[in-house]
């Protein structure tokens, strides 16, 4: 399962990076997040761990992610280390004439019992991520 979505946001990379890399802001632009907890000390950076609980069609799903890449104002990467669906992802920020191109890529493997639904789950994820990017854009451009 691979998902890639991009959006141009009228804000500099520094502003966006500062906002989305703070776990306390995640539920403001991702409404499916029920709780987010930083498990390691601040400041957030490579090696930091975050526990989150997300609403899913089948209830709630808890996961723990570790930040694997942290290039300030440019790139942020993570990998799930605990959870039902293990994912890896990156967020890339590229300055443009209109602000910043914000690109998120997520890859993951589904448990065996969910594999028959991979196409549908991928489609739902794309729609959810697209909505999250629109939320982030609205917050950043307000």
Residue with more model confidence, 101 or 59: 101
pLDDT digits (tens, 9 = 90+) for 63-74: 999 999 999 999
| pTM score of the predicted model | 0.89
CATH number, residue 35: 3.30.530.20
Q: Whole domain around residue 88: which residue ranges?
A: 2-141
What are the helix (H) ranges across 3-117?
Answer: 13-20, 26-29
Range ranked top by mean pLDDT from 26-30, 44-48, 104-108: 44-48
Helix axis angle, 118-141 relative to 13-20, nearest 10°? 120
Q: How far is CA 36 from CA 16, 27, 47, 81, 98, in A?
A: 19, 7, 16, 15, 31
pLDDT digits (tens, 9 = 90+) for 79-90: 999 998 889 999
The predicted structure's pLDDT at residue 58: 75
Average pLDDT of the chain, as a whole number: 92
For residues 58 and 71, the answer to whether their CB atoms sit within 8 Å is no
Count of structural domains, the chain: 1
The predicted structure's pLDDT at residue 26: 92
Q: Which of 64, 40, 61, 34 is nearest to 51 (CA)?
A: 64
């Amino acid at each position: 399962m691979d998902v890639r979505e991009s959006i141009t946001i009228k804000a500099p990379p520094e502003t966006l990076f500062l906002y989305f890399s703070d776990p306390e802001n995640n539920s403001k632009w991702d409404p499916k997040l029920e709780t987010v907890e930083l498990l390691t000390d601040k400041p957030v950076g490579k090696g930091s761990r975050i526990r989150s609980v997300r609403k899913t069609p089948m209830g709630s799903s808890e996961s723990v992610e570790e930040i694997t890449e942290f290039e300030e104002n440019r790139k942020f990467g993570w990998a799930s280390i605990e959870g039902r669906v293990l994912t890896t992802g990156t967020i890339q920020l590229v300055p443009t004439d209109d602000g910043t191109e914000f690109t998120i890529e997520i890859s993951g493997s589904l448990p065996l019992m969910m594999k028959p639904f991979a196409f549908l789950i991928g489609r739902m994820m794309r729609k959810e991520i697209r909505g999250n990017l629109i939320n982030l854009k609205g917050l950043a451009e307000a």
